[in-house]
Amino acid sequence: MSGYDWGEFYCEMQSQQDQPHLTRITQRLNGLDISALRRRSRDAERELFNLGITFTVYTDREAIDRILPFDVIPRVLSKQDWATIETGVKQRVAALNLFLHDIYHDGHILKDGIIPEALVTGNKHYRPEMKGVDVPKGTYVHICGTDLVRDQKGTFCVLEDNGRCPSGVSYVLENRHLMMRAFPDLADGVPIADVDAYGSRLARAMSKVAPQNMSNPTIALLSPGIYNSAYFEHVFLAREMGVQLVEGRDLLVDDDRVFMRTTSGKQRVDVIYRRIDDAFLDPKAFRPDSQLGVPGMFEAYRKGNVNLANAVGTGVADDKAVYAYMPRIIRYYLDEDPILPNVPTNICGEEEGLKKTLDNLDELVSKPVGEAGGYGVVVGPRASKRELANLRSLIKADPGNYISQPMVGLSVSPTLIGRAIEPRHVDLRPFALTGEDTWVLPGGLTRVAMKRGSLIVNSSQGGGSKDTWVLV
């Protein structure tokens, strides 16, 4: 690791050298020559390919299997850091579930003016069909992926909540298996929290939210099918949970009950872990052109004859605009301060936020709240004068449609790049499971931006992943 310079950023390994285990891991890495490290890295990637832990890119004639690049240097979280993340995520999930129940029932939070009603009921992920529907145990977000980043001071902040169909957990488990085969000596004597329980925990959470408190429900995982890029994960989870993996065409609804087509005829299904968006779930209730869904399933759900995880209509809670209100939502329902802060967010719909935004436009990242996929985002320090002027008039014309945030200098982690170890920016997505109560998988998915200086960790942009070790 000689010559490794993490600059002004927080380094996941070097900034924590007061942790004896991290010192030990650093020493071990220093004791390896780079060729040995590269060999282990190549072996690991070949294994990923052979195991078919791939996402598939389809062209006209061929299916090309790609692996998510895997970096052999783990990201390590101290006991203290993990305690903060774990309690913070639990708090956030609790608030999200209370919020969703409220907005689909009496809407106290709207009446009390904590969050503008239009922001909620006018949101494209808000499902009026869910109004008055009671879901088992009041749990809407059974599986939650909270995207965290660490700023230059080392504080974890929430960047985004994923309360619809968060993906990536299969990589957490497979990365660990891979790491233990490729690099068993690195972890020698370092106590690391186990991740293997995820599948059984998930199955348990699903059975806790079965309709009518039934004790031995039939659970199925509903996938869009083998051409979905996350199909590997669906297979992986079905196997880890020991449940059936089905597609929409394997299910049918009869008398508002959901059944699987099996070799012995129709078999009742009680809980469905669905990896299909709301819009495609049921052509009778939502998009009529959906080929992936099951006609009549929503009615069966509304009547309480089947449960769906996550619940329908959770998208409203992980929206950018609602995100800005999350600290207030947490205070409103739990009467607690948020354990994990948001990235400071200026809400332009409010006078103070608007002023701060307009005064510092060239330093802030401004985002229209109604858009997805980074559309309309203006990064102040990188924008031209003209772009900023244009943005200024857009915000003034419709302040409620904008939020702004300071640039966050994401933490870095030592990463094997070619023949050197270099700092690369990382984020963290812990996974929380909620049936009756909430359990957080120790660790989570660490995504790493493989390009120098890049802050974009998405796999579609050349991002990779690392094994994430939680010290116990």
Partner 1 sequence: MFSLVSRFAANTFWLGRYLERVENVARILHINETYARDKPEGPDWQRVLDLYSDSERFHEAHEDASAQSVLQFYIRDRNNPSSIVSSIVNARENARSVRHLISTEMWTHLNIFYSQLLKMKAREILPSTLANTANDIILSCQTFEGIAEGTFLRGEPSCFYHLGKYIERADQTTRILDIGYALLPLGEGDAVTSVQWNVLLRSVSGYHAYRSRYPSGTRVEDIERFLLYDNEFPRALMLCVSRITDRVRDLEKRHGTERHSEVERTRRQLEFALETGPGNDLTPERLHAFLDRVQIHLGNVTNAVSQTYFG
Binding stretches for partner 1 (CB under 8 A): 49-52, 61, 218, 226, 231, 235-236, 238-239, 244-247, 249-250, 260-265, 267
Of 245 and 329, the one with the shorter C-beta distance to partner 1 is: 245
Of 111 and 261, the one with the shorter C-beta distance to partner 1 is: 261
Of 9 and 70, the one with the shorter C-beta distance to partner 1 is: 70
How many alpha carbons lie under 13 Å from residue 183 in its C-beta half-sphere?
27
- Least distance from partner 1 to the Cβ atom of residue 267, Å: 6
Tell me whether residue 27 is exposed, middle or buried, using C-beta atoms within 10 angstroms of its C-beta: 0 to 12, 13 to 18, 19 or more: exposed
CA dist 180 to 185, 192, 276, Å?
8, 11, 33
- Least distance from partner 1 to the Cβ atom of residue 440, Å: 25
* Residue 14 structure tokens: 């070097």
Of 218 and 366, the one with the shorter C-beta distance to partner 1 is: 218
- Least distance from partner 1 to the Cβ atom of residue 343, Å: 38
* Residue 187 structure tokens: 């972890």
- Least distance from partner 1 to the Cβ atom of residue 186, Å: 24
Of 30 and 262, the one with the shorter C-beta distance to partner 1 is: 262
Of 167 and 218, the one with the shorter C-beta distance to partner 1 is: 218
- Least distance from partner 1 to the Cβ atom of residue 225, Å: 8
Of 32 and 235, the one with the shorter C-beta distance to partner 1 is: 235
- Least distance from partner 1 to the Cβ atom of residue 61, Å: 8
- Least distance from partner 1 to the Cβ atom of residue 163, Å: 25
Q: Side chain identity at 75, as an amino acid letter?
A: R
Cis peptide before 97 (omega within 30 of 0): no
Of 238 and 364, the one with the shorter C-beta distance to partner 1 is: 238
- Least distance from partner 1 to the Cβ atom of residue 50, Å: 5
